[in-house]
Every structure is written in C-alpha cells, then in structure tokens.
C-alpha cells in the first residue's frame, strides 16, 4: 500500500484456485491440505480466494448454503451445473457432472486400485470450466489471477492461452512432478484442444498429451512447494523428463514452502489427542505414548523408542525400505506403528510383520485422519524415508506435536529439518535427523543415531522443544504467495512481514516483470476450429437452487 493510498481504497486481489481436492471435504494427501488451508492464510494479505473443485459426492454433501450459480450446456460435451457454497476456506465452486464425478471412494482410483479410465476428460472438464470462469463467464465475479494445482488443473493455462481476448495470468503450483496427467494424442479433440497444440513446445510429451507440461509451458509463474525441490526438478535425475522445460522457465520458477493450519494442528485442542498438552510441553505429552501403546497392544515401556510413520505406503515414500528393515529394528528396544494405505505388496509386507512381531509392530492399513493426529502426539520419532519429497507436511505435524522427524535429506525435508549433527546438538538448534542417500542401511543408521540421542534425555527434550517452536504456519509463506501474485498481476501491494522460505530460481524477484511472452502466441479461432473443438460454443444460463 502506498503512503497516499488509504487502506479502504485498496481492492482485494480476486483469486481463483483450481484443484482436484480440498480438505476437509475431500483429501488423499498433502495437496488437499494445502488447497484447503491456503485461502484463509492469504486473506490477511489482501487476497480473496474462491476455489473450484470437481463435484464429488463428498463435496456436494458437505457444501454449506449451496446454491446453483450457473448452468453450462456444453463443456467438452457435458452439461455442467456450477454450485456455489461456503467452506472454512471461503467460497467454493463445485463442478457438478454426475457422469464424471458421482463415484464413491478415492477421487482418482477405481475400486480395483487403478486410475479411472476417463480421468483425462474428468479433469479436462474441471479445467475448461475453471478457464471459462477465469475469462469472465460469471456475471458478478471475475478473478484477477488464477492459481492452479498439480496436473489435474494443468490445462487451465492452456485453455486460457487458446482463448481470444484478455484473460487473467496463471501461477501453477507443482506439488508432485511425478504425476503428469499423460493421455493419448487421440484425445486432443475430446479435450477441445486444437491440432496445432500438439507440438514439443506446447502439450506434446513423448507422443502423449501432458497436462503438467501444458501448465509448465503456459503459466505465467511456476511455484514448487519448497526451495530445494525447485532446484531438484531442474536436474535430469529429478525432473521426471521435464527438466529441460523447467530449466528454460527457470526465471519464472519459485520455491515456497507449504504451511499447516495451526487450528487443525494444536495438541491442546485436537480431539484426536487423548491427553491434551500445550505446544512444547514435553513432559505433559508423555502420557499419550503410554495410552497409545496400550490402545494398540504394545508393551507400555517408556524406555522403548516408539517410531511412527503416517504416509502413503509407496516406494516414493520409502515404505518398502521400512518394511524390509523392520525385523532388524525389532532386535533393539524399538517399537513401530504405521498408519496409511498404498501399494498392495507393501501393505501385505506390513500385515505379515504385524502377525510376526505383535510386541514390536502395529499398523492401521487404511487412511485415518484421526490416527494421523494421534500418532504424532504419542510417538518419540516420525519416519519420513522418502526417495523424493517436494515439500512434505508430515515433518511439520511431527515438529508441532513434539515428535522428532527422521527423514531423508531431499526436497522440503532438507529445507525444514535441522540435522542433529554434533555442531547443531552442541549449539542446541537441532530438531530432527536427516540421512542420505535413501537406502535401507542409511535409514537403519539414522534410527540407531536417534536411539542414541533418545537415551540422552536432556538433548532429546531440547530437540523436541526446538521442533515445537519451529514456525510451521502459513504466516510467512502466505506473504510470499501474496507478493508473487501481486507482482504477477500488477495489483497494488499490501504490506506484509517479509518471510524467509522463498527461493527465486536464478532471477531477480524485486524487478517487476510483465506477463511472460510464451512460445505460442494466441491464434484467432476460425469457424473450422469451432466445428472440431469443444472449446466453443457454450450456452450459460443463470439459475437458482432447485
């Protein structure tokens, strides 16, 4: 805000956030947490967010004060009802297409654990609807900017690029580059994309359409969910085949850490915690370890190192390493609890361990938000042996609740955890244990190092308190998002406290930059284009709740 501009004259920046999930309505992982908690964090910085997600049954059921906002007769061949309602994060739009979204369970996977065969059109319809709203479809609201999340929203910037007329700029958030939204070239027409878009410098990725590549090519700004991950994905080793694109767009790429909602993660008020305790009250949390051991049939041994893992049970998360390592751990005075769901083979290994080592190992092989909270309030240390980790939220939860993270030195884990090396322990600043590379042996050595520190009660308690005092909130990170969005749009800056978790990639963030000139210019649509594409026409009509 300038000195001569009164606060009342500063209009809020209007933001449309596009995603496949949002907590607490629908969540499979950290993406839903971020999409659900970021809008409230942006509000104090002068940014008003409206979020659009698919109209899954869980979303439509939970949407408060729902009203029909508009009907669109032809979005890629489907009739769409757009519902508007309220959540804790503000205004939410739900794209209601029963043929695409009226399915119970996981939003991405069928009951046999395989991706839904029509996931391409499911998320193309979400993207196309969002693009229409961004371009001014609604009579009473138009965003100044769009924030798209992961591959599911990757076509939004492409659709906006191929439209005629002015459209708002887009910042795309890469939560996990490993998931790219790849579909056959033959679906170009189904997705309403012009034939000339299927080139190397647009949507083509090794003979397929890539939603993620579309986002990387056409977004005005790119955000990765940690500074280190922003560096990693520009390398051939971690770039998942898109490192060339990311290096070419390095001036547009910024790493900003995620944050957590401190209202959701407060051990004093968390209903999942048996014995509430204040953040940093290490003595008071001890009772939770005993009751957790009793709840799951483990011996109530205070001197046993109780380890926990809350995660998708996949190779990315290193769950396979832990399953193989576990018998070696049980030769020590170590107990282990695992909560999560994932690959069938890994889950079967954990089920076998549960039957063989009932005095040392327990597992809950289903997703459970409640147990995820309770575990962090009880275990001595939380395991995060990821092979790659864009940001990670588990370490934030562990730190906040006084559990020491034992994590691979990758991505956001290395940006948030201070390793308990001799210097950090001596200075009293350590809050976790990092190891590298991500192998079974290195994980074992890290756990043994943790066991040695656990026996040093004063050192361990200091590490727990350090973690609890670590700022895991959105406060500084939201300010960084706000500055990026304000710079991207030219919207008047709302003054905020500077943060320290932002890392521009080989660019000067202080210089105001115009909207990026992209490799592909907007091309006027012809009558022939309209005849062969579902981008147009559409027939909107306003409506009221039936």
Specify binding-site residues for ADP-alpha-D-glucose. Answer: 27
Asked if residue 474 lies in contact with residue 263, where contact means CB atoms within 8 angstroms, the answer is no
Beta bridge partners of 119: none
In the DSSP assignment, the letter for residue 109 is: B
Distance CA 175, CA 393 (A): 11
Element (H, E) at 214: helix 211-218
The torsion angle over the Cα atoms of residues 389, 393, 394 and 395, rounded to 10 degrees, is 80
Tokens 């009226």, located at residue? 102
**Exposed (0-12), middle (13-18) or buried (19+): which is 162, by Cβ within 10 Å?**
buried
Q: Give one DSSP letter per residue of 508-534, joined into a string.
A: -TTS--PSPPPSS------HHHHHH-S
Q: Give one DSSP letter per residue of 366-378, joined into a string.
A: S--HHHHHHHHHH
The pair of structure tokens assigned to 393 is 């939220």
Distance CA 93, CA 500 (A): 33
Binding residues: 27
Cβ-count burial 222-257 (b if 16+ within 10 Å, e if not) = bbbbbbbbbbbbbeeebbbebbebbbebbbbbbbbb
Which three-class secondary structure state does DSSP give residue 222?
Answer: strand
Distance CA 197, CA 188 (A): 9
The torsion angle over the Cα atoms of residues 190, 195, 199 and 201, rounded to 10 degrees, is -80
Helices 457-469, 394-401: crossing angle, 10 deg rounding: 120
Distance CA 271, CA 264 (A): 10
CA within 13 Å, CB half, 15: 33
């Amino acid at each position: 805000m300038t000195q001569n501009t009164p606060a009342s004259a500063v209009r809020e920046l209007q933001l449309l956030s596009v995603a496949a999930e949002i907590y607490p309505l629908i969540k499979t992982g950290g993406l839903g947490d971020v999409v659900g908690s970021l809008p409230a964090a942006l509000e104090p910085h002068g940014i008003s967010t409206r979020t659009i997600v698919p109209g899954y049954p869980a979303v439509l059921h939970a949407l408060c004060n729902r009203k029909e906002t508009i009907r669109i007769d032809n979005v890629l061949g489907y009739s769409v009802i757009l519902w508007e309602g309220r959540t804790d994060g503000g205004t939410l739009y739900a794209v209601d297409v029963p043929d695409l979204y009226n399915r119970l369970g996981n939003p991405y996977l069928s009951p046999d654990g395989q991706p839904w065969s029509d996931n391409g059109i499911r998320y193309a319809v979400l993207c196309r609807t969002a693009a229409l709203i961004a371009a001014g479809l609604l009579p009473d609201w138009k965003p100044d900017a769009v924030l798209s999340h992961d591959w599911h929203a990757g076509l939004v910037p492409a659709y906006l690029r191929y439209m005629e007329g002015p459209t708002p700029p887009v910042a795309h958030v890469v939560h996990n580059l490993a998931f790219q939204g790849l579909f056959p070239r033959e679906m170009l027409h189904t997705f309403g994309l012009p034939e000339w878009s299927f080139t190397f410098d647009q949507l083509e990725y090794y003979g397929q359409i890539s939603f993620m590549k579309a986002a990387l090519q056409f977004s005005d700004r790119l955000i990765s969910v940690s500074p280190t991950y922003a560096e990693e994905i520009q390398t051939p080793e971690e770039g998942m085949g898109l490192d060339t694109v990311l290096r070419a767009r390095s001036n547009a790429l910024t790493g900003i850490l995620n944050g957590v909602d401190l209202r959701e993660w407060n051990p004093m008020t968390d209903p999942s915690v048996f014995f509430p305790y204040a953040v940093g009250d290490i003595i008071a949390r001890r009772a939770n370890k005993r009751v957790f051991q009793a709840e799951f049939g483990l011996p109530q041994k205070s001197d046993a190192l109780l380890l926990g893992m809350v995660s998708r049970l996949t190779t990315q998360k290193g769950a396979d390493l832990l399953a193989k390592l576990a018998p070696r751990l049980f030769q020590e005075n170590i107990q282990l609890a695992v909560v999560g769901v994932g690959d069938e083979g890994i889950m079967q290994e954990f089920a076998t361990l549960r039957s063989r080592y009932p005095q040392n190992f327990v597992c809950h092989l289903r997703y459970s938000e409640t147990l995820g909270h309770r575990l962090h309030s009880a275990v001595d240390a939380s395991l995060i042996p990821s092979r790659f980790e864009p940001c990670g939220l588990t370490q934030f939860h562990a730190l906040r609740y006084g559990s020491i993270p034992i994590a691979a030195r990758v991505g956001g884990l290395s940006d948030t955890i201070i390793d308990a090396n001799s210097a950090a322990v001596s200075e009293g600043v350590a809050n976790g244990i990092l190891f590298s590379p991500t192998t079974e042996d290195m994980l074992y050595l890290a756990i043994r190092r943790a066991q040695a520190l656990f026996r040093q009660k004063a050192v361990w308690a200091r590490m727990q308190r350090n973690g609890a005092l670590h700022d895991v909130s959105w406060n500084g990170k939201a300010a960084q998002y706000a500055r990026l969005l304000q710079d991207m749009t030219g919207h008047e800056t709302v003054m905020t406290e500077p943060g320290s978790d932002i890392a521009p990639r080989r660019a000067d963030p202080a210089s105001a930059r115009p909207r990026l000139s992209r490799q592909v210019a907007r091309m006027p649509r012809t009558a022939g284009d309209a005849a062969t594409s579902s981008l147009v026409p559409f027939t909107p009509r306003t409506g009221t709740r039936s």
